[in-house]
A = this chain, B = another copy of it.
Amino acid sequence: MTEPVILFDPYPRSRELIFREGQWERLQAMGRVVGHEGGRMPGDMVDTYLPETVAVIGQTDLPAGRLDRAPHLKAILNVEGNFLPTVDYDICFRRGIHVLAAAPAFARPVAECALAFALDLARRITFSDRAFRQGREQYGLEGNREGFSLSGSPVGLIGFGNLARALLPLLAPFRCHIRVFDPWLPDGFIREHHCEPVALDDLLRQSRVIFILAAVTAENEGFIGEREFSLIPKGSAVLLMSRAAVVDFPVFVRFVREGHFVAATDVFPEEPVPADDPLRDVEGLLLSAHRTAGVRDAFYRIGDMVIDDLGLILQGLPPLRMQAARRETAARYKSKPGRSYEKKGR
């Protein structure tokens, strides 16, 4: 083999988006970088280079046929936050090709927003600003009739992946009792993080602030619906941070509209949300346009992780910073590829 090739096919990301100063040079020092931007790399270009390729950075289609043409391939480093169905995972696992996603880059900014939303709903911050602009603000105790302190309030986390674990240290100073529901995790693991593992219904009944953080899988679509929402105590706050599809979205909005609980959502069944969607006027709903993950630094962090992990792999060491696809779960995730505001997995 001549100089090993690194295929750089980051669309819908770009080199400029993910690499801070100096990182592109670091990448080039690792091999011959063959790149394409502004769209998916053309198929024949991919095919030409695969025989010498050691790593693919991006969301290139890599079915069995192509993997067979890439005998030196060691790693596929996705620069989005999810594992996509465009790779033949079985072959990768058998051959020991690392398949990595950039989800951890987004955990911290999303966690920061999750805490912000929780405080906003608990203390009625956005609602009070709106009331003030409409001339109907209330002062002091009067202005707190409906709010509550996050400090000491019982919290529930639905899903306990990257995002939940990035949220825990931010919640720590508020000394909340934290209940967790995650059917993929043993109780002991949850307890090691000083949280209480519970059944979903118990979590819903006992929490004042509920964070929905679960990724969508084939099995959990819409698993929080009418029955589940009705278990939540009146006056609670519900935050939908991961994917709209894990809840029955119209029912979720109805509960907010009827004042059962207040809520925040960063995700919607259809994005962009239609201009005339009545959701835009629901009083108790804090609206966020799929923007909790996408801060500038998160994209640079993707680049940092790619450089670090690729560097390790090419030195014969295991990657550390990105999320590794695992045999058991890779096939279960149901995220759709390619929207520029796509978001963190579980």
Chain A residues within CB distance 8 Å of chain B: 17, 93-94, 96, 108-109, 112-113, 115-117, 119-120, 123, 125-126, 128-130, 132-133, 135, 137-144, 147-151, 169-170, 172-175, 184-189, 192, 194, 271-273, 275, 280-281, 286-297, 299, 304-305, 307-309, 311-312, 316-318, 320-321, 326-329, 339-342
Q: Which of B151, B170, B341 contacts A112 (CB 8 A)?
A: B151
Q: Which of B108, B139, B308 contacts A188 (CB 8 A)?
A: B308
A-B CB proximity, top 8 nearest = A140-B341, A143-B291, A116-B119, A186-B308, A132-B287, A137-B289, A318-B326, A141-B294
Closest to A148 in B: B295
- 14 inter-chain pairs at a CB distance below 8 angstroms, sorted by A residue, are A113-B119, A117-B125, A132-B287, A135-B275, A137-B272, A139-B271, A140-B290, A140-B291, A140-B339, A148-B295, A149-B297, A169-B173, A184-B312, A188-B321
Q: Cβ of A296 and Cβ of B144 under 8 Å apart?
A: yes
* A309 CA to B317 CA, complexed, in Å: 24
Decide: A272 near B139, CB < 8 A? Known: A94-B94, A318-B326: yes
Q: How many copies does the complex hold?
A: 4
* A103 CA to B144 CA, complexed, in Å: 18
Complex contacts, A115 vs chain B, CB 8 Å: 119
Decide: A143 near B112, CB < 8 A? Known: A289-B132, A318-B327: no
Q: Which of B172, B184, B273 contacts A173 (CB 8 A)?
A: B172
The smallest beta-carbon distance between A229 and chain B, in angstroms, is 22
* A2 CA to B272 CA, complexed, in Å: 53
* A328 CA to B307 CA, complexed, in Å: 18
* A108 CA to B346 CA, complexed, in Å: 27
Q: Which of B17, B120, B317, B341 contacts A184 (CB 8 A)?
A: B317
Complex contacts, A328 vs chain B, CB 8 Å: 316-318
Using A108-B149, A137-B287, A141-B291 as known contacts, list a sample of 7 further A-B pairs with CB atoms less than 8 Å apart, ordered by residue number in A.
A116-B116, A116-B123, A120-B125, A149-B297, A173-B173, A185-B320, A318-B328
Q: Cβ of A287 and Cβ of B119 under 8 Å apart?
A: no
The smallest beta-carbon distance between A21 and chain B, in angstroms, is 15
Interface centre among A148, A295, A312 (most CB of B within 10 A): A295
The smallest beta-carbon distance between A60 and chain B, in angstroms, is 22
The smallest beta-carbon distance between A91 and chain B, in angstroms, is 11
Closest to A312 in B: B186
Complex contacts, A169 vs chain B, CB 8 Å: 173
Complex contacts, A174 vs chain B, CB 8 Å: 112, 170
Q: Cβ of B123 and Cβ of A119 under 8 Å apart?
A: no
Complex contacts, A272 vs chain B, CB 8 Å: 137, 139
Q: Which of B143, B172, B294, B329 contacts A140 (CB 8 A)?
A: B294
Closest to A308 in B: B186
Closest to A343 in B: B140
Complex contacts, A140 vs chain B, CB 8 Å: 289-291, 293-294, 339-342
Complex contacts, A311 vs chain B, CB 8 Å: 186
Complex contacts, A108 vs chain B, CB 8 Å: 149, 151
* A340 CA to B317 CA, complexed, in Å: 30
* A123 CA to B292 CA, complexed, in Å: 8
Decide: A288 near B128, CB < 8 A? Known: A141-B341, A144-B294: yes
Closest to A276 in B: B135
